[in-house]
């Protein structure tokens, strides 16, 4: 596959790399190496997992420091929950999409066809790797500025806190159902399809005898979360 122009990507992000190969590495998925052992001229490639490991630690420190200062009266349990909401796969994938990371990812042909959660995970991992690359290239302050501009200024943390969006959908739906209806929701398996190694589960969520919504996933837990998300929409909660 043609190699994207990483210098252009660097300019788009507003980060001037001293070593542009760090950004290239940050966008290189392990699967790409299986199909492309080297570039022209025999230059070896490295995948982004080491940078992702580093970026994850930098991201956690920056977000933790930010939350510690923003919420001086909150205890560590709340701060941990808020941090999880800010740095989860969904949030980081949103950041990646806004930056157009998908146009610069180096993946195998098979991985490039993946959509949905699989692609979201790759996108989120790439953001952590890019943070790691910025840290290696320019240090803490530059990586903290990148996180602030692309995550903290984009995601509405006050809304997350006020609406308790840091809770997962199932927990939020249970809390609202108990508050509004005085009942705890129940979940029922409606259907299972596919072979054992790749089953698809469809579950319904009920308040009393009333079915509110259904959700589908590769595990019962995922299907429950999807059902709860839809139930929150149905109820306007």
Q: Whose structure tokens read 């054992």?
A: 196
Phi, psi of 167 (to 5 degrees): -80, 150
Q: Which of 83, 85, 111 is nearest to 27 (CA)?
A: 111
Phi, psi of 193 (to 5 degrees): -130, 160
What does the block give as tokens for 222? Answer: 């995922």
Q: What is the dihedral of CA 30, 32, 33, 35, to 10 degrees?
A: 140
What does the block give as tokens for 190? Answer: 């409606």
Residues annotated as catalytic are 56, 128
137 contacts: CB under 8 Å, gap ≥ 6? 17, 18, 19, 22
Measured N-to-C along each axis, helices 140-147 and 117-138 cross at an angle, to the nearest 10 degrees, of 150
């Amino acid at each position: 596959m043609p190699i994207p122009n990483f210098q252009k990507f660097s300019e788009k992000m507003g980060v001037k790399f001293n070593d542009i190969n760090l950004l290239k590495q940050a966008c290189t998925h392990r699967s790409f190496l299986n199909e492309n052992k080297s570039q022209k001229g025999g230059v070896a490639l490295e995948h982004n997992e080491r940078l992702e490991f580093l970026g994850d630690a930098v991201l956690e420190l920056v977000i933790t420091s930010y939350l510690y200062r923003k919420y001086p009266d909150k205890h560590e349990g709340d701060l941990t929950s808020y941090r999880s909401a800010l740095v989860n796969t969904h949030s980081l994938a949103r950041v990646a999409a806004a930056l157009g990371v998908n146009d610069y990812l180096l993946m195998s042909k098979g991985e490039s066809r993946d959509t949905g959660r699989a692609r979201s995970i790759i996108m989120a991992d790439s953001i952590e790797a890019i943070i790691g690359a910025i840290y290696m290239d320019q240090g803490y302050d530059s990586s903290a500025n990148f996180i602030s501009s692309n995550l903290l200024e984009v995601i509405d943390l006050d809304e997350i806190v006020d609406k308790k969006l840091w809770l997962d959908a199932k927990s939020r739906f249970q809390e609202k159902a108990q508050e509004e209806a005085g009942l705890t929701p129940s979940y029922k398996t409606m259907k299972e399809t596919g072979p054992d190694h790749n089953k698809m589960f469809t579950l319904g969520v009920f308040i009393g005898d009333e079915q509110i919504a259904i959700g589908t996933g590769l595990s019962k837990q995922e299907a429950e979360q999807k059902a709860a998300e839809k139930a929150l929409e149905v109820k306007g909660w």
